[in-house]
Homo-oligomer: A and B are copies of this chain.
């Protein structure tokens, strides 16, 4: 039976820019990856779309299609919660619904937004906190405690983010490129995330000892490591 990764993303682009390489890597290692996308991002990060004259409903359709395309390019499943973004309202009811979704999937690893003080995108903080509440609710109902990792925010230098793990995505970089190319509404972000992946790789290749690393993504870790018998260095 396959191991499973669950990715919970506030908007359609988030899982692509922040974790597409990691998703592709796990898929290529034989994992089942499911993405829950809480909103269509039709308020936020859609400025480019509205300049073309489309309306809100059209924007939802376009961005949903972009995200579905990116997920397909990565070999992952995707579900849409359809909540309005900016500002995302994660009520207790929605948190319980999310807990049920987590429990039903039984993930071995969860990726989502870091709970840090990301001032430039409150929806991301709201998502990180809601996932934490849903996770504990699911755990109280018997879910195995899967490790949870946090996305690196767009501008870590603004919000006190600290990387706990660097993932080498060099071998799946082409797939991340394909996924990024699906995001036509936000296409101006593509270059910046390529610069970032290269910059992060300079650490992994240098101090990290992964000499061949040319592209990397980083994540924070929500809980300490204790599943294994050693330091898992």
List residues of chain A with CB under 8 Å of any chain B CB: 25-26, 29, 43-47, 84, 86-89, 91-92, 95-96, 99, 108-109, 119-123, 129, 132-134, 136-137, 139-142, 144-145, 147, 149, 152, 154-168, 191-192, 195-196, 198-199, 202-204, 207-210, 216, 218-219, 221-233
Q: Report copies per complex.
A: 6
CB of A2, distance to nearest CB on chain B (Å): 15
A-B contacts, 16 listed (Cβ < 8 Å) = A44-B136, A45-B140, A86-B136, A86-B137, A87-B133, A89-B91, A122-B136, A139-B207, A155-B203, A157-B162, A157-B218, A158-B224, A209-B227, A210-B226, A225-B233, A232-B233
Chain B residues with CB under 8 A of A132: 119, 122
**Residue among A147, A149, A233 with max Cβ neighbours from chain B (10 Å):** A233
Contacts A119-B132, A121-B136; A167 near B227 (Cβ below 8 A)? no
The residue in chain B whose Cβ has the minimal distance to the Cβ of A42 is B140
Contacts A87-B95, A223-B119; A192 near B196 (Cβ below 8 A)? no
**A147 near B199: Cβ-Cβ < 8 Å:** no
- Complex Cα–Cα for A147 and B221 (A): 17
The residue in chain B whose Cβ has the minimal distance to the Cβ of A168 is B229
**A227 near B233: Cβ-Cβ < 8 Å:** yes
**B209 near A144: Cβ-Cβ < 8 Å:** yes
CB of A8, distance to nearest CB on chain B (Å): 15
